[in-house]
Amino acid sequence: MKAAVVSVLILLVIFVAWPVSADRKDLPGAGGYGGDEDDDNDTKSWFPLDNQLSLSYYDRICPDFEKIVATKVREWTKKDSSLGPALLRLLFHDCGVTGCDASVLLDHEGSERRSPASKTLRGFELIDDIKSEIEKACPGLVSCADILTAASRDATFQLGGPYWPNAYGRRDSTDSYARDVEKVPSGRRDITALLETFQSYGLNVLDLVVLSGAHTIGKAYCGTIQSRLYNFNATYGTDPSIDSKYADFLRRKCRVASETVYLDAATPVKFDNQYYINLQKNMGVLTTDQELVKDPRTAPLVKAFAEQPPHMFRQQFAVSMVKLANVGVITGEDRIGVIRKVCSKSNSRPY
Ligand code: HEM
């Protein structure tokens, strides 16, 4: 009964929160690289409005944008399937630090990407490759933040996840600071800390539970969970909340920190609701995963997603991803963002 009520609530949220479509706006706006570039010279009468994201943002200025991204993501993930989960995580680490502004992509001394906490992030070369292809088709018009948003969606879809419409028009940051990376939660926080972090993004408890479901795909480094396996609460023991057989498996697998384990042991490469079923069996890999089933604020949602058909999770995942991809975006109107020429380099930085 309780689960049914939660499901109805979830459905309501899906319909209320589904992003509204934006109409084509045939009004003047600014294009070009921005920042140190003379962006106003390039103004054309059919540029989209630059004070908001729009579903049709690139329709006229770069009609092949989404096609190029999807093709590149398919090409790269065909060769290395682990890049799909990596891209999805990369978007979270971009949006979770100073908003979805591609700050995570900048590669210079002291940047987010150079922080120890970003060491296991991947997918940068794929984004660079997409950017250079897009620069050939429509130079100076497509931001790295939009490319990452599109690539992450396509990677999720290609792994069997949901598809959702992306609104575009983000600008890129001009800088990036390693010290900001602490805003992205580590795998050892408690639920209160996670909720506070998500609230600071403008996301709620449902978004937290649903987006954590991204851990239905991908891997964690054993180094990330070794303290949970061998030194829980400084006891040299294993976290007793892990299912004992699964704990045996993890301990055998994780003798070396550089080894990896799937975040969803049961269906590791399938984008389904198995993650929530695992949590109920005490088979969450990260402390933050397992905590979701213990905390009264999140446990009913875990139960609902575990018990409902997988499409309930997939639909809500799409809704929450749209919200995540809109966190702290810079638009042209803000005048502080740019369209980077190369995603890993700031336009104004003398390299
Ligand atoms: C709720 C807070 C979250 C925490 C504490 C967290 C933490 C982590 C950690 C510790 C790892 C393993 C990293 C490693 O060992 O190198 C990981 C992997 C991953 N995370 Fe999260 N995460 C969170 C939310 C998210 C969100 C919101 C998404 C995307 C929407 C996401 C997507 C992923 C993916 C796909 C992987 C696997 C990456 C790969 O295989 O390369 N995570 N996460």
Catalytic residue among 72, 89, 93, 323: 93
- Spatial distance between the Cα atoms of 71 and 57, rounded to a whole number of angstroms: 20
- For residue 67, how far is its CA from the centre of ligand 1 (angstroms)? 27
Distance of CA 128 to the CA centre of its chain: 17
127 has which bridge partners? Answer: none
267 is in an annotated binding site: yes
- Spatial distance between the Cα atoms of 273 and 267, rounded to a whole number of angstroms: 9
309 is in an annotated binding site: no
* Predicted model pTM: 0.89
Ligand 1 atom 23 nearest Cα: 212
Q: What is the pLDDT of residues 25-67, one digit of tens each?
A: 322 234 467 654 444 444 455 666 667 899 999 999 999 999 9
- Give the pLDDT band of residue 6 (cuts 50, 70, 90): low
Pocket test for ligand 1, best of 89, 95, 276, 279 (most atoms within 8 A of CB): 89
CA atoms within 13 A of residue 131's CA, in its CB half-sphere: 24
- Give the pLDDT band of residue 349 (cuts 50, 70, 90): low
Which domains, from first to last, does the chain contain?
25-184+327-334 (1.10.520.10), 203-320 (1.10.420.10)
258: how many CB neighbours lie within 10 A of its CB? 7
Q: What is the pLDDT of residues 132-190, one digit of tens each?
A: 999 999 999 999 999 999 999 999 999 999 999 999 999 999 999 999 998 898 877 89
- For residue 93, how far is its CA from the centre of ligand 1 (angstroms)? 9
Annotation marks residue 93 as catalytic: yes
Which atom of ligand 1 is found nearest the CA of 288?
Answer: 5
Ligand 1 atom 34 nearest Cα: 89
